[in-house]
Copies of this chain bind each other. A is one copy, B any other.
Amino acid sequence: MTKRGTNPVRRSPCPLNASVEMLGDRWSLLILRDMMLRGAQTYKQFLGLYEGIATNILTDRLRKLQAYGIITVRPDPSDGRKLIYLLTAKGIDLAPVLTEMVLWAARHEKTGNQPLIQQMRKDKEGLIAQVRQRWAATQAASAAD
């Protein structure tokens, strides 16, 4: 049951191919960004993605990320209608990937969010550790529910 998605049919055994089959689309990556950097947790928050995501695409991606074990979902204890989406350990392990992508773009393209970029350049590992700490705190808080 928990191993539902563990034996998918892949186009090759290459590790990068496994990555891109799960992440090789921009919406998944943008969702993960908002979870990691902005603490987004609800459907409505994801709908507010700055880039503008369609409801059917959001639903589809959340389902996929869940199936891949990258995120998990639970009801909000303070509002039975709301769902809370959380990164799993597998999900938070994507922090270095997203960090490197941000740094790459910042080096080669005109982009915003300069404070974050400065921080990443100054102490990449420290920022990743910080993201992990916030995630761990979220885990502890939701385990208490």
Contact = CB atoms under 8 A, between A and B. Distances in A.
Interface of A: 6-7, 11-21, 23-26, 29-30, 33, 50-52, 69, 90, 93-94, 96-113, 116-117
A121 to B, nearest CB: 12
| Dominant secondary structure of chain A at its interface with chain B | helix
Contact of A25 (B15, B18, B24, B117): B24
Copies of this chain per assembly? 2
Contact of A100 (B96, B107, B111): B96
A113 B29 contact: no
A12 B50 contact: yes
B11 A21 contact: no
A13, A101, A106 interface centre (most CB from chain B within 10 Å): A101
